Amino acid sequence: MSLGFQRASVTAVAALALLVAGSAFGTRATSAASKDAPAMHGKMTATGKATAGSSGPVSYSAAQAAAGSKAYGASCASCHGEKLEGGVGPALSGATLNTLAKNTHLTVGDMFTFMSQQMPLNAPASLPKDQYAAIMAYVLKFNGYPAGSKALTYAAATGSKVVMKSN
Ligand code: HEC
């Protein structure tokens, strides 16, 4: 079996787990050490209805996104791809993200809560808060959200009801 094949299988399994939205995710979250960390999809299946999203602006600065690009490259790209195209971990951009986001009514807050508490997979919640916020700014920039003058804070990202999608 080639490495390439293994990698593809893992991606497929991860993608499937995500699409099933809840089961695999929920199990993982409850069995993981961080019980207080709500799984991105677990939360949504638990409430039974999606957080009503708004398409309002989400503020981050261009400088912050640039810093986030570096932090992403160091801590996330190995699994999610240099261009957020996915690898061992799911794509954080494009059609994959849109399908997941649509199916789960994903908000920026949902994604941020998940990434800041469960990622990097091999060292959850290990980065400084401002680095998580910067990485979120980079993910937003990459997906076509315009930069503003105010940097994205950890708290604002956590509470954001802005709909997540790849523009
Ligand atoms: C060692 C590999 C690995 C690293 C490093 C990693 N991830 Fe992940 N990530 C995954 C896998 C695998 C999943 C699929 C969910 C699961 O199984 O928990 C995932 C899921 C996610 C999700 C949910 C995606 C979705 O579409 O549902 C986000 C967001 C995310 N990761 C962000 C990050 C960020 C940001 C970093 C860097 C701080 C990071 N990941 C680092 C492997 C990794």
Distance 115 CA to ligand 1 centre (A): 7
More confident residue, 22 or 127: 127
Distance 76 CA to ligand 1 centre (A): 7
Distance 90 CA to ligand 1 centre (A): 7
Q: How many whole angstroms separate alpha carbon 99 and alpha carbon 109?
A: 17
Query: What does the pLDDT read at residue 167?
Result: 86
Tokens in use for 77? 């790209």
Instruction: Provide the strand spans (E) within 19-142.
Output: none
Spatial CA neighbour of 85 closest among 71, 75, 96, 98: 96
| Amino acid code (one letter) for 62 | A
Residue 13 clears pLDDT 90, i.e. is over it: no
Q: Which atom of ligand 1 is nearest to the CA of 72?
A: 37
Q: What is the rounded average pLDDT of the residues 82-88?
A: 97
Query: What does the pLDDT read at residue 40?
Result: 53
Supply the pTM of this predicted model: 0.76
> 147 CB under 6 A from ligand 1?
no
User: Hey, whose CA ends up nearest to atom 2 of ligand 1?
Assistant: 79
> 78 CB under 6 A from ligand 1?
yes
CATH no., domain 3-159? 1.10.760.10
> 58 CB under 6 A from ligand 1?
no
**Mean pLDDT for all residues in the chain:** 78
More confident residue, 43 or 56: 56
Confidence category of residue 56, pLDDT binned at 50, 70, 90: low
User: Hey, whose CA ends up nearest to atom 24 of ligand 1?
Assistant: 90
% of the chain at pLDDT higher than 70: 66
Residue 48 clears pLDDT 80, i.e. is over it: no
Distance 56 CA to ligand 1 centre (A): 26
> 80 CB under 6 A from ligand 1?
yes
Q: How many whole angstroms separate alpha carbon 90 and alpha carbon 109?
A: 18
More confident residue, 2 or 134: 134
More confident residue, 93 or 58: 93
The full set of domain ranges for the chain reads: 3-159
pLDDT (tens digit per residue) in 87-136: 999 999 999 999 999 999 999 999 999 999 999 999 999 999 999 999 99
CB atoms inside a 10 Å sphere around CB 122: 9
pLDDT (tens digit per residue) in 67-76: 999 999 999 9
What is the secondary structure of 33-55 as a DSSP string? S-TTS--HHHHHHHHSSPPPPB-
